[in-house]
Structure formats: C-alpha cells, structure tokens
Chain A
Amino acid sequence: MKIDVVDVGHVYPGPSSRRVLDGVNVALTERRIGIIGANGSGKSTFLRLLNGLIVPSEGRVEVDGLDTAKKAREVRKKVGFCFTDPDSQIIMPTVAEDVGFGLRKSGLPKDEQRAKVMALLEHFGLAGHADHPAHLLSGGQKQLLAMASVLITEPTLLVMDEPTTLLDLRNAAMIGRVVAELEPAVVLATHHLYLLESFDRVLVFEGGHLVADDAPGPAIATYRRLMEAA
C-alpha cells in the first residue's frame, strides 16, 4: 500500500477557523509507521485524512492512487480506523454481533459470517465473551473488540488513533503485542513511545507541521527535545 500526502493543509471551519495542519508532504509505504506529537499537534487530523474521515482543505491525499476526497468509499474499504475510546466505536450490544456488524453487507451466508467472527474472536482471546454485552468488557478487551470489528472487513491498512491512551500499562503493552503481530500495515499514533521502538518509521508533528520523519530512535529523540524545550 502507498499513501501520498501532497501539500496538505487543513483548517477546521467555524468562527475560530483553526489551522491544524500546514504544508505536509509525505509518502508512506512501510508496514509499521508511528505518529507522535503533543496534544493538538495535528496527529489525529493527519490520521483522519488517511481514510477520508476528513477531506483536506488544501492539497490531496491518495491511497493506492485513490483520492480520498473523490473515492472515500473505496478508500475506507482499504483503510480501517480505530479510535481512542472504544466505547464510541461499539455499535451492537454483544461482542460477536459488533464484530459481525461489518459483514452485514458482505453477502456471505449467516453461518459463514458467524464462523469468520468466531475465528477472529478466538485469535483475540475474546471467544469466551462472544455473547456477552460489549459495554461490560474491560478497557483492554474493548480495545481488542474495536480492533477485531475493524479487521473483520480485512483492510490492508489499520490506522489507530492513540488506542492505548485510556489503558493501564499492562493493557497498553498487550495492545502493542497484538499490533506487532497484525497482518495489515499499521499507522499508529501514541504517547506510549516504547510501542514504536520496533516500527519502520516514525513521524513527529508539532504545531500542525511535520517536523521529523525518521527511524524510531532519532524521531523519538527529536520529540523528547521538543517537549523538554517547550
């Protein structure tokens, strides 16, 4: 998968018309890409550009040659998205139903849908909770459920916006291990910097600008310097 971000800037409309991204140019082809930056640095907006949740005010974003502004439906089939708060992502009342929700329009027979859902829940260690109310899971389990609900549609890229922010260290590390073993490519924004140590590439955002684009070690060092200087 190749993502091209060309001359992208973004301003949220409204009375305050906040500019959150400015002059971002980057081409992404690696399988594991980390995104770091302070709160309000533009990370979440950048991630939302990647699957067409936000259309840039300036410039363009292309996923495998598909412009997110014109081919949002096709882009979203390729690019799954996990939010910080899994509660806002759970749609159906039970665990299995929520994962199966993504297959409603797949045309697969019901028993095949169920088998696919159960295989994925088994993989994530949630099979024992298949018929349990989704909102009663623990924080870590809910984040796993959110990932499973996206992965059931087999995207080629999974974009994750701070999926470990609401979790304790044990659950954050567990999500890190699960992410490391995922089949699709991953773009992960996080404040848990150790999760990015094995990644191929890390982008650092500051004040809406891409200020560093490097291997994890140097990129994280740049980020630390920026935070200490602030």
Chain B
Amino acid sequence: MRSLGLYVPGDSFLHRAPAGAKLLVLLVFGVATVFLNQWPGVTVALVVVLGLYAWARIGWRMLFAQIRPLWALLLFVAVFHTWVSGPVRAYEVLGALIALVLAAALVTLTSPVSAMVDAVVAAARPLRRLGADPERIGLMLTLGIRCVPLMAVLVREVSEAQWARGAQRSVRAFAVPLIVRALRQADALGESLVARGVDD
C-alpha cells in the first residue's frame, strides 16, 4: 500500500517544507504544465520532477510505484496520440501526465497526512463564513485516504470468497457482498469517530 503514495519518512528539504506550500506549488505546477504543453516545456517539467525526487532521496523503485497503477491508461494515451497526432504530440501528452502524477505523489510522499489535513483545514477556514466546517472538510480528506486500503482489503476478501464458492464470473456475486460490507464498514467507522469524540 506504500504505492498509493503514503508518506515516506525523511529529513530532506522537501520533507521539512510546509505541506500547504507544497500543495500551492503543486497547483502552480499543474497550471503551468497545461500551458507549457510543447515538448521543450514538458521535458523541463519532467527533469524538474525527477530532480526533486532525487533531492528528496526517494528511489527509482518508489518513483515507478507511483505510475505503475496507471500503466494501462498511459499505454492507451501513448498509442492513441501516436496514431492520431504523431509521436511528438504523444510524448507531450504522456510526459505532462507523468510529470503531474509524479509531482502530486511527491507531495504525499514527503508530507504526513496529518500535515496535509492541517493545511487543507487552514485553507478552508475562510469558508466558515459560508457555513462550512473546515475540520469536517479535513476529516473528509482523511477518511477518503483511509478508505483506500480498507476497500482494497474488502475487494480481496470478497474476491477470495467468490473464488472459493466458484462464482468468479458473477458480477452480482461480487458487487452485492462488497457493497454490503462497505456500508457496514462505513457504519463501524462512523461509530468509531463518534466514540473518539470527532462529532462533538
């Protein structure tokens, strides 16, 4: 589950930088990548991101783990753009996509989730005037991240049960228990949040 971009402890400059500043730079980087979408700009973006990974002392294996889950999408984009617009355009689109994914992953790899939640809560504070609760927005982010490994476990367990009972081709036999168990898990998590005084 490290490959989902969880925090990797370290003491580099990027690790010590405030999470809010990193999220802001990521936003600027994302916007810049949209506008600098010619091959020289994309190459610079890729070099910058790879340089930042080296600076943060995050190894190649961890770097590739960030883009591995997207290989099918990246392959589709590469083939589609090579066919429709040629190899240069395919490089520009693919390069920009990889640079963005790696940059976003770098923020989560170098920032504890609690620091990112603090940053999001601070950024959402002006919304209090509109009736929004910044702590609740931070909690939504936390629970979103928490639910990824939880759902992965549920999917694995339901798949195993499905295989054990020989119903591996049935979508319904997979979806129904998964949804029921996900709802029960959500209920239990909600009860746990109340027990820990989160709703008070």
Contacts and interface: CB of A to CB of B under 8 A. Distances in A.
B150 A91 contact: no
SS of B interface (majority): helix
A51 interface: yes
Nearest to B145: A93
A97 B112 contact: yes
B1 A133 contact: yes
Contacts of B143: 91
Interface of B: 1-2, 6-7, 9, 112-114, 135, 142-143, 145-146, 149-150, 153, 185, 188-189, 191-197, 200
Contacts of B145: 93
A100 interface: yes
B195 A76 contact: yes
A197 B41 CA distance: 71
Interface stretch (A31-39, A56-64, A81-89, A178-186): A81-89
A81 B7 contact: no
Given A53-B194, A92-B113, A94-B113, 15 more contacts: A53-B195, A72-B200, A76-B194, A80-B195, A81-B196, A83-B188, A83-B192, A85-B188, A88-B192, A93-B146, A94-B7, A94-B112, A102-B196, A131-B7, A150-B196
A97 B112 CA distance: 8
B1 A101 contact: no
B188 A135 contact: no
- Sorted from nearest, which 9 A-B pairs have the closest CB atoms? A88-B188, A81-B195, A73-B200, A89-B192, A131-B9, A135-B149, A97-B114, A76-B197, A93-B113
14 contacts: A73-B197, A73-B200, A76-B194, A77-B197, A81-B196, A83-B191, A88-B189, A89-B196, A90-B146, A92-B114, A102-B197, A104-B135, A133-B2, A149-B196
Given A100-B114, A133-B2, A133-B6, A92 B146 contact: yes
B7 A88 contact: no
A136 interface: yes
A222 interface: no
A133 B113 CA distance: 11
B195 A51 contact: yes
Contacts of A83: 188, 191-192, 195
Interface residues of A, number: 31
B1 A136 contact: yes
Given A73-B200, A87-B150, A92 B142 contact: yes
B124 to A, nearest CB: 15
Given A87-B150, A88-B188, A133-B149, A94 B195 contact: no
A72 B194 CA distance: 10
Interface in A107-124: none
Contacts of A89: 192, 196
B150 A135 contact: yes
A153 interface: yes
Contact of B197 (A85, A94, A97, A153): A153
A172 B181 CA distance: 26
Residue from the set B142, B188, B195 with the largest chain A CB neighbour count within 10 Å? B195
B122 to A, nearest CB: 13
A72 B191 CA distance: 14
Contacts of B113: 92-94, 97
Contacts of B189: 88, 91
